[in-house]
Amino acid sequence: MKTIARSLVAGCALALVSAPLALAQTAGRAETLEIMPLARQWFRPGPSFARLSAVDVKVVIDGQVATTTLELSLTNPNGAPQEAEVLLPVPDGVSIRSLQFDGVGNEPNAKLLPREEARKIYDAITARRRDPALLEFVGYGMIRTSAFPIPANSTLKARITYDQVLTADGERVEYLLPRSEAIAANPSQGGVTWTFACSINSDRAIQTIYSPSHELSIDISDPRHAEVRVQAAQAAAPGPFRLAFVPEKPGSEGLSTTLVAYPDPSVGDGNGGFFLLLGALPAREGAAPVQNREVTLVLDRSGSMQGAKFEQARGAALAVIDGLRDGEFFNIIDYSDTIQSYEKQPIAKSADTAQRAKAYLGALRIGGGTNIQDAMLEAVKPAVADGALPMIVFLTDGVPTTGVTSEVLIREAIVKANSFERRVFVFGVGYDVNTPLLSSISTASRGVPTFVLPGENIEDKVSQVFRRLEGPRLASPALSTDRAVRELQPASLNDVFEGDQILVVGQYTSSGPVHMTLKGKEGLSERSFELNFDMARAASSRNGYIPRLWATRKIGYLLGEIREKTAGGLAASSPAIKELTDEVVRLSTRYGVMTEYTSFLATEPGMSLATDELRTEYSNRVSGAFQERLYARKGAGAMNQESNTKSLKFAMVPQSAAVDGYASKDMSQVRITAVQNVAQNALYRRGKQGQTRWVEAALLEKELEAPEQVVAFGTPDYAAIAHRLAETGQAGYVAMPGEVLVLVDGKRVLLQNTPD
């Protein structure tokens, strides 16, 4: 093992690109490969070329200092060694700590190049390879290693470790790995496995950890330490990796908040944009009082629950009772076409009442129809015990078959009767449930619906949800804002339980100070938090993910509204429905958030918006898709709509059609690579004389018109446009293959990138 050590120097954010290996021969030295594991590749290297097979990223954050180690697995399938060097884009100020290669001959070294010197190398490699992809990193410096051999028929491990001082805004500490936003045209070209792990150590309790780019697995072993991981499939996805954490404010009385924004002149007076508000309460201290819960179990014992389903449901009910503390309250209501209950109203848990409840559950027998309305009305009507938070855990596997069966009437009756504001946590089992009905009952009460697919364990699902419902930290929260803020998603907040994040996205109409107030109930006490933010200071063109996250959640909300309204039989062409579906289509097209109703714009080559005739055809196709799909209330076709709506409505990261996709009507996952996101924009792939052309969503109606400017790769105009795109956070355009038609400072510009 060879090691080169360097001292720690204050630096800034790391630049890393998640894409397949890029290889090039160095001019005048054909035996040496330039390995750029951080750059997008659109060509397939020959079978004798060395390739990058894996990247393992480990980060340790201590306060505001991050140490990052990249372990690169470089595989050489050739029978002879191959000379290579590694080029790694980084911002100015990053400090190399060590460079290690397993078993090389001469000791390698590494040089840290400032941005101007790095830019010359980027330009030189770009010109030599006739590929503008590296221009995506104009403005970054570079770590460049000396040439080293990759042994024949083996894999070399190369480790690069460097340090940086992280940026901070108020209490929020941010870690950023800017990775290429382009997705390979043929994912099989890559085959690179990515893993990511991060340890966070803080001198104050960590209030919340959030990534707007990747779903995280977070383990907080103590208040000041956390372990964060990203699943391999997510880690390999394109786009920047972003991670932020917020430590507890010194002297804080509870809530810690932070706000980031993206400026968008189309919002408000030209100085508006989109924002993301993130907040969290500190971990409950051991002696802190916990609000009691009152849990009513509503258990379906109709004939369709026969067998394993009911045994699992019975086990789930037992697990809920066992999970209650002595002194908390519970009751059991079981129903088929008749309604029975363990007690007339919830009673306090004790060893005796719990034992009797278990005997009651053990004696239940299956049979009859499904009377959902009367069972739920029985559950919501009793008065609530003093100081308790009332909840209903509702398990069913069917649609209403006896009593009132109208979806609209059942929903309205339950919402009206729930005067004590019981939170309804629905568990729909299997495909034969009315998913819109169950979902609307739950969300209207600040609860969350959960659907158990065939083959999944009911008891496990119920236990997972119930474990986190240990007395809310903030009940019935409400966020009020001044007039400069609008279009909040979600429009209303659910109760905040231990470990929950408060995440709200919305629009602001003008820059400057914004005031918000968050109110709620902590135990028996009313709490109020005054929040003040400066939108101009919080806004950055690097935050293009915020409008896409807002659009993702807004589309989920609109689809939920449409599903509720169609329960009454309204046609998709009715004004009340068409207004909502038109907005779904507009947002889906603008931001590339694909749904089963709009995906054919990206998947069918002939579909376009460039003429009145084509726009009419598209509108008719969308209307037909809504008409066909919206009226499925049960079965796999209804479950997929529920799955899609919920994933959009509660999204923590923007939907990526190419990575996340959506569930089709047979519950298979559909991913679409013909639409890609760069910053806040969506681009659609179009064909033109055998060459790919990508078109920005804002220009779909003008894609047949001649562009106002055509810039060919390798020209001064192209370089100027590339640098301008880098300034506005849209440099990912140059990493896409073929031609790219985009708006640059209001002008329609055709970038002639590399061939497909």
For residue 15, is pLDDT > 80? no
Number of alpha helices (DSSP H) and beta strands (DSSP E) in the chain: 15, 40
pLDDT (tens digit per residue) in 697-706: 999 999 999 9
Comparing CA positions, the residue from 498, 469, 521, 470 lying closest to residue 223 is: 498
Do 273 and 297 reside in the same domain of the chain? Answer: no
Q: Measured at the alpha carbon of residue 648, what is the angle toward residues 488 and 609, in degrees to the nearest 5?
A: 95
Q: Which residue has the tokens 């192209």?
A: 718
Comparing CA positions, the residue from 15, 440, 498 lying closest to residue 242 is: 15
359: left (phi over 0), alpha (psi -120 to 50) or beta: alpha
Contact present, 161 and 98 (Cβ < 8 Å): yes
Comparing CA positions, the residue from 391, 387, 223, 378 lying closest to residue 323 is: 391
Is residue 571 assigned to a domain?
yes
pLDDT (tens digit per residue) in 98-134: 888 886 655 567 777 777 777 777 777 777 666 676 7
- Kind and range of the H or E run holding 682: strand 681-688
Specify the higher pLDDT residue, 411 or 572.
411
Comparing CA positions, the residue from 48, 54, 63 lying closest to residue 20 is: 54
pLDDT band at 23 (very low <50, low <70, confident <90, very high): very low
Structural domain of 195: 2-247
Total of domains in the chain? 4
439: domain CATH number is 3.40.50.410
Quote the pLDDT of residue 711: 95
Query: Of the residues 540, 567, 590, which one is the last residue of a structural domain?
Result: 540
pLDDT band at 16 (very low <50, low <70, confident <90, very high): very low
614 burial level (CB within 10 Å; 0-12, 13-18, 19+): middle
User: Highest-confidence range of 3-7, 129-133, 613-617, by mean pLDDT?
Assistant: 613-617
pLDDT band at 690 (very low <50, low <70, confident <90, very high): low
Is residue 196 assigned to a domain?
yes
pLDDT band at 21 (very low <50, low <70, confident <90, very high): very low
Peptide bond into 490 cis (omega under 30): yes
Is residue 708 assigned to a domain?
no
59: domain CATH number is 2.60.40
Do 208 and 102 reside in the same domain of the chain? Answer: yes
Structure tokens at 111: 């040089």
pLDDT band at 25 (very low <50, low <70, confident <90, very high): very low
Quote the pLDDT of residue 24: 39
Do 89 and 30 reside in the same domain of the chain? Answer: yes
Q: What is the pTM of this model?
A: 0.88
Neighbours of 391 (CB within 10 A): 25
Is residue 747 assigned to a domain?
no
Cα 323 from chain centroid (whole Å): 31
C-alpha distances in Å from residue 394, one per residue of 313, 535, 624:
10, 43, 35
Q: What is the DSSP string of 598-634?
A: TTHHHH-TT---SSHHHHHHHHHHHHHHHHHHTT--S
- Name the phi and psi angles at 127, rounded to 5: -65, -40
Is residue 684 assigned to a domain?
no
pLDDT (tens digit per residue) in 44-101: 455 667 777 888 999 999 999 999 998 988 888 888 888 888 877 776 678 888 888 8
Query: Of the residues 675, 709, 724, which one is the last residue of a structural domain?
Result: 675
636-649 helix and 435-443 helix, angle to the nearest 10 degrees: 30
Quote the pLDDT of residue 112: 78
Length of the chain: 756
Contact present, 397 and 304 (Cβ < 8 Å): yes
